[in-house]
Structure 1
Amino acid sequence: MRLTFLGTGSAMPTGTRAQSGYLLESGSDALLIDCGSGVLSALARTDRGYEGVDTVLLTHHHLDHVSDLDVLMKARWLAGETDLTIAGPPGTESLVRDSLSVHEYMQDRLDLTLRDIEDEAFSLAGFDGDRFETRHSMQCFAYRLRDGNGGPTIAFSGDSEAFTDLVEFADGAAVFVHDCSFPDDVDVSNHPTPSSLGDALAAADADVGRVYLTHLYPHTEGRHDEMLESVGDRYEGDVRFAEDGLSITVDEF
C-alpha cells in the first residue's frame, strides 16, 4: 500500500501545511481520508488526481476535515467523474445533503452514495476497515485500514486526546498516523501533547510500527526536535513528523 500525506495541518493555517487529508492506495483502489482546506489542490498534484479518487472517508465533521468536500464534488462533476461515495460517522449523509442544499446548481450533478458508518467493521473502496470512537469535542472515529488481500494495516487516530485504548486499537499497524497538535507547554483538551502521547504509546499493550505526528498547529513550528525528544523520553519506538507531500510505501513490519 501507499500512503500520501496531503495535509498535515489543523484549523489554524501555517501557510505551509494544508488541513487534514490522506490518500491511501493499493493497486487500482484509492481512498481519501478527510478533505480539509487545501487537500483538493494537494490531491491534484498526485498521479492519481481528484479524477481518480471516488471515495472519501471522514473521521469527523469539523471544518478542517471537510471544507474541501464541496470543491471536490464540483471538480469531479466538471471533469465528468460523477460517481462519488462519502462515508463517515453518523450524520455524514445529512452533512453532505445540507451542504449541497446551499448550492442549488449542484443539485443532482453527481451520482452520490452517502454512508453513515454504524458498524465497527466495514468495507469501503477495496479496503477492509475497523472504527473506534476517539476522545474529541465531537464524535470522531479512528480507523484501521488494510487492503482486501490482507496486506499491511495503517491506523489513523483522527482528532483525539492520547489514551491507551486508542493505541491498542492500532495494535499490529505498520504505520500509525496520530494527532499531536501542540507542544507540551500548551494547556489543551481534545488533542494530545508529545508527553501525553508518549505516555499512552508506552503504557499501551500494543505493537505498532512507525508513528507519524500530524494535525499540527502553528504552535509546533520550529519545535519539532523538542517534541520528538518529549515523546522519546517516554516511548522508544520510531516516531516522526509527517509533512505535506510525503508519500511512503507501507509494508508489513
Structure 2
Amino acid sequence: MRLTILGSGSAMAVPDRAQTGLLLESDDRALLVDCGSGVLGRLAGTDVGYEGVGSVLLSHHHLDHVSDLMALLKARWLAGEEHLEVVGPPGTKSLVDGLLDVHDYLEGRIDLAIREVGSERPVSVAGFEVAARETRHSMAGHAYRFAPADGATDPEDGPIVFSGDTEAFGGMARFADGADVLVHDCSFPDEVDVSNHPTPTGLGNALADADVDVRRLYLTHLYPHTRGRESEMKRAVTAAGFDGEVRIARDGLRISV
C-alpha cells in the first residue's frame, strides 16, 4: 500500500500546505480521503490524477475537508469520466445534495453514488477494507483504518490509520494500535489553548497512556501557528512518552507500507 499526503494543512491557508487530503493506492486501486481546498490541484500532479480516483471517503464535513469535492466532480465530468462515489459519515447525502442545489448545473453530469457509513463494522471502499471509529471533534466524524481488500489483513488491524480531526484520547490511540503509519491531527503547539484538536504533549500522553505500538506517527492538520515549531513539536510528543518515530506531514510526501 502507498499513501500520498496531498494536503497537510488546516482551515487557515498557507502557501505550502493544501487543506486535508490523502491518496491511498494499492496495485491498480486508488482512494481519495478528504478533499479540502487545494487537494484537487495536488491530486492532478500525481500519476493517478483525478481521472483515476472514482471514490472519495470523507472523515467529516467541515469546509477544509470537503471544499474541493464539487470541483473534483466537475473535473471528472470534463475529463470524460462517468462516475464518482462519495462515502462518509451520516449526513453525507445531505451535504452533497445541498452542494448540488447550489451548483445545480452539475446535477446528472456523471453517475454519482453516495454512501453513508458508521463505525459498527468495516466496509469496502474502492478496493480497500476500511474500519471506522468515531472521533471527538466539534462535528461528528470518523477516523479510519485501512487494509487492502485481499482478505489477508483484518481492516481493524490495517497498517494505515488516519485520525481525521479529533482530540487525542485513549480510544483513538487504541484504534491505531499495531499500525505501521498513523497520520494524526496535531494542529497547534503546546502553548495554544485549544479544544477539538490535540497539541503535541496531549497527543503523546494519549498514545503513551494507552501503551500502543505505532511504528511511525505523522503530525498533520498543521495551522500557521506551527511554522518553525516542527522540531519542538516532535520532541514534545516523544517527551510525553510515545516511543515510535515522529515525523511532520508535508504535501507530496509518499509513504509505502
Q: Using the alignment, how far apart are the partners of 1:233 and 1:170 within structure 2? A: 20
Amino acid at match of 2:251: D
Q: Please list every run of 5 or more consecutive structure 2 residues that lacks an aligned counterpart in the other structure.
A: none
Q: Using the alignment, how far apart are the partners of 1:79 and 1:156 within structure 2? A: 29
Q: Using the alignment, how far apart are the partners of 1:153 and 1:15 within structure 2? A: 31
Q: What pairs up with 1:13-52 in 2 under 5 angstroms?
A: 13-52=13-52
2:247 to 232, 240, 243: 240
Q: CA RMSD in A?
A: 0.9
2:160 paired with 1:159: no
1:154-209, Cα deviation, whole Å (9 max, x unpaired): 10100000011101011121101000000001000000000000101111142222
Matched with 1:134 is: 135
Amino acid at match of 1:141: H
Identity among equivalent pairs (%): 61
Q: What pairs up with 1:74-223 in 2 under 5 angstroms?
A: 74-118=74-118, 119-149=120-150, 150=152, 153-223=159-229
Q: Using the alignment, how far apart are the partners of 1:186 and 1:89 within structure 2? A: 29
1:104 deviates by 1.9
1:120 deviates by 3.0
2:5 paired with 1:5: yes
TM-score (norm 2): 0.95
Q: Using the alignment, how far apart are the partners of 2:11 and 2:123 within structure 1? A: 29
Q: Which structure 1 residue ranges, 4+ long, deviate > 3 Å from structure 2?
A: none
What is the aligned residue count?
250
3-state secondary structure, aligned to 2:205: helix
3-state secondary structure, aligned to 2:9: coil
3-state secondary structure, aligned to 1:171: coil
3-state secondary structure, aligned to 2:178: coil
Q: Using the alignment, how far apart are the partners of 1:182 and 1:59 within structure 2? A: 20
Q: Using the alignment, how far apart are the partners of 1:158 and 1:164 within structure 2? A: 15
Amino acid at match of 2:185: D
TM-score (norm 1): 0.97
Q: Using the alignment, how far apart are the partners of 1:172 and 1:100 within structure 2? A: 40
1:130-160, Cα deviation, whole Å (9 max, x unpaired): 1000100010100011101235521010000
Work out whether residues 136 and 191 of structure 1, in 8 Å CA contact, stay in contact via their aligned partners in 2: yes
